[in-house]
């Protein structure tokens, strides 16, 4: 028998904010001890497969083992930090239902639940693959290297047991305004790139009103925010360049390529004739995360709902589900929440998850797997 909560405790006690080696060793050891035949590929992904006897769909269970810094030690509590204990929140001799610590909900709680389903579900037909990636919080090189050709994906993230079928994408890039340097005592002899930032910022503000995609049924409006601005080399010089970094949260059908082309063309129309501009994405090893939306009537969505998952809704953060949704219907699901009434939970000092919710998530995913593969 796989002891879901015991594994979760060991996982949270294992730091993986700087190096995932120890956490991956724990995962590989656990899989091997329970009769799986795990392998680690060249990109650092941990993979295991269960095959049914008959033809059927290929379902993938995915999450990640890395966490954001800093490490937060494991702790058991009766109630979440910053939340007043309720009548049912009693610590008892075992320490209580709440587990605090880095990765408790993002995403070692979901990992424990997916492992429970991988080990316990009856797989009579088709194929069940567990694919655990090493660097979701940074560049997602593991997920980008996967090619699984599946019929459905369940991606473990803290959703409060809701079935999240959509998420915005995230792009990041820099607008570079090019002017002409000159002595500040003779401003007319140059072209001040910092002054041009004012109309360019107005153009950024107006982009979605005039060019961007329409409001999405599930995800709402996209967002476009300037996040960093820099320019100038000396206090007595007309600056020749100004750079504005922007954060784009996209919705379908907008793509990375389409946004870059339309955005640069839109900004160019707001620029003085004496200057020029360009837009370039921030360099990274892997593609940015695209927006996705899975139809609610997809088999994997209906299987989770039938097994007891909560509401169908969008997920509030970008995830590696973006890479898989282009291949097959994808749902983000798991125990824990990104935030609660007291504030941030995932990525926060007070990160926590309820043990009872981890067990419930395992039961739901097990039921969904069996409805599809047994």
The helix (run of H) or strand (run of E) holding residue 257 is helix 256-268
CA-angle at 364, arms to 362 and 369, nearest 5°? 95
Radius of gyration of the chain (CA): 24
CA pseudo-torsion sign 263, 269, 270, 271: positive
Q: What is the pLDDT of residues 22-64, one digit of tens each?
A: 999 999 999 999 999 999 999 999 999 999 998 999 999 999 9
- The span from the CA of 262 to the CA of 283, in Å, is 19
Question: pLDDT at position 318, please?
Answer: 86
- In order of 19, 83, 109, 282, the CA distances from 203 in angstroms are 42, 43, 43, 20
**CB burial of residue 257 (10 Å; 0-12, 13-18, 19+):** exposed
Q: Domains in the chain and their CATH numbers?
A: 4-167+291-373 (3.40.630.10), 169-281 (3.30.70.360)
Q: What is the pLDDT of residues 245-303, one digit of tens each?
A: 999 999 999 999 999 999 999 999 999 999 999 999 999 989 999 999 999 999 999 99
Q: What is the pLDDT of residues 342-363, one digit of tens each?
A: 999 999 999 999 999 999 999 9
pLDDT-based confidence at 91, cuts 50/70/90? low
The answer on pLDDT for 114 being more than 80 is yes
SS3 30: helix
pTM: 0.90
């Amino acid at each position: 028998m796989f002891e879901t909560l015991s594994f979760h405790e060991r996982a949270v006690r294992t730091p993986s904010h700087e190096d995932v080696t120890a956490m991956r060793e724990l995962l590989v050891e656990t899989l091997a001890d329970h009769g799986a035949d795990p392998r680690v590929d060249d990109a650092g992904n941990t993979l295991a497969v269960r095959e049914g006897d008959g033809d059927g769909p290929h379902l993938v269970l995915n999450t990640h083992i890395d966490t954001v810094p800093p490490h937060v030690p494991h702790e058991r509590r009766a109630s979440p930090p910053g939340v007043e204990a309720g009548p049912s929140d009693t610590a008892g001799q075992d320490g209580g239902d709440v587990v605090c610590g880095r990765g408790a909900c993002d995403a070692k709680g979901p990992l424990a639940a997916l492992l429970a389903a991988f080990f316990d579900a009856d797989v009579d037909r088709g194929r069940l693959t567990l694919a655990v990636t090493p660097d979701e919080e940074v560049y997602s090189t593991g997920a980008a290297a996967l090619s699984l050709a599946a019929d459905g994906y369940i991606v473990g993230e803290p959703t409060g047991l809701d079935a999240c079928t959509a998420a915005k994408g995230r792009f990041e890039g820099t607008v570079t305004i090019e002017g002409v340097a000159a002595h500040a005592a003779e401003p007319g002899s140059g072209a001040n790139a910092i002054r041009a930032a004012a109309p360019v910022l107005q153009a950024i503000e107006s982009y979605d009103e005039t060019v961007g995609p329409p409001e999405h049924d599930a995800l709402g409006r996209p967002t476009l925010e300037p996040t960093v601005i820099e320019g100038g080399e000396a206090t007595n010089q007309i600056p020749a360049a100004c750079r504005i970094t922007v954060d784009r949260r996209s919705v379908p059908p907008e793509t990375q390529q389409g946004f870059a082309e339309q955005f640069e063309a839109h900004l160019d129309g707001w620029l003085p004739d004496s200057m020029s501009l360009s837009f370039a994405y921030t360099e990274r090893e892997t593609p940015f995360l695209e927006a996705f939306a899975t139809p609610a009537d997809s088999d994997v969505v209906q299987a989770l709902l039938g097994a007891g998952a909560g509401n169908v809704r969008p997920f509030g953060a970008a995830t590696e589900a973006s890479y898989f949704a282009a291949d097959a219907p994808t749902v983000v699901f798991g125990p824990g929440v990104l935030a609660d009434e007291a504030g941030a939970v995932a990525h926060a000092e007070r990160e926590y998850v309820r043990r009872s919710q981890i067990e419930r998530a395992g039961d739901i995913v097990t039921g969904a797997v069996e409805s599809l593969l047994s």
